Amino acid sequence: MTYRVVVVCSGNICRSPIAEAVLRGAFDEAGLVVDVSSAGTGGWHAGDPADPRAMRVLEAHGYELVHSARQFDPRWFDDVDLVLALDAENLADLRRLAQRHGLAHAHVRALRSFDPAVSDLPEMSAELDVPDPYYGDDEGFEVVLQMIEAAAPGVVDYARIDGF
């Protein structure tokens, strides 16, 4: 059975597509077969490509991504091993969804809780947020990429223990 990870932000055009590409690369580099995808808690961008600034930062750092935004479907909880939220609001939304569907939310985590530099913070802490770069400039997308890259090895290690 393939281990499955879904990365979730608000609209699925900035942060979560970057995380999808970075994590896919990290798992590939580790030699692990993991299905990595992304989604948004909202559906207002469903069907849209990733933000051009997200694509530029990915391409500049050697990542590849083909992307079409979609909204997280609570039925996925049954088939996904790990759901990674990119901020405290998304984390709370996902945990509420899990609870409404009678599911424990143990496999819903903040992405940055896997970054050793900040992993000692409470998981609902806003300090673990990957900031939404949508209303900013290209530099915000670089910051997002760096935060995600810092957490990626911890996610890979977790998947090794949890699923392999």
User: For residue range 106-152, what is the model confidence (pLDDT) as tens digits?
Assistant: 689 999 999 999 988 888 888 999 999 999 999 999 999 999 999 99
Active site residue: 9, 87, 115, 129, which one?
9
Cα 148 to Cα 13: distance, rounded to the nearest angstrom: 15
The answer to whether residue 15 is catalytic is yes
Q: In what order do the strands lie in the sheet with 34-40?
A: 34-40, 3-9, 82-85, 108-110
Catalytic residue flag (residue 14): no
Residue 100 has pLDDT above 90, yes or no: no
58 burial level (CB within 10 Å; 0-12, 13-18, 19+): buried
Question: Which of the residues 14, 15, 87, 93 is marked catalytic?
Answer: 15
Q: What is the pLDDT of residue 126?
A: 86
For residue 146, the model assigns a pLDDT of 98
pLDDT of 87 strictly over 90: yes
The CA distances from residue 87 to 8, 127, 161, 162, in Å, are 9, 9, 24, 22
What is the chain's mean pLDDT, rounded?
94
Q: Is 24 marked active-site?
A: no
Class of domain 3-163: alpha beta
pLDDT higher than 70, residue 105: no
Q: What is the pLDDT of residue 102?
A: 80
Only one residue has tokens 């039925």, namely 75
For residues 5 and 97, give the distance between their C-alpha atoms in angstroms, rounded to a whole number: 17
Domain ranges, ordered by start, for the chain = 3-163
Instruction: Give Rg (Cα) of the chain.
Output: 14
Output the pLDDT for position 106. 66
Q: Which of 51, 87, 93, 132 is catalytic?
A: 132
Task: Identify which of 67, 69, 61 has the alpha carbon closest to the alpha carbon of residue 11.
Answer: 69
Residue 145 structure tokens: 């990429």
How confident is residue 163, by pLDDT bands cut at 50, 70 and 90?
Answer: confident
- The rounded percent of the chain whose pLDDT value lies above 70 is 98
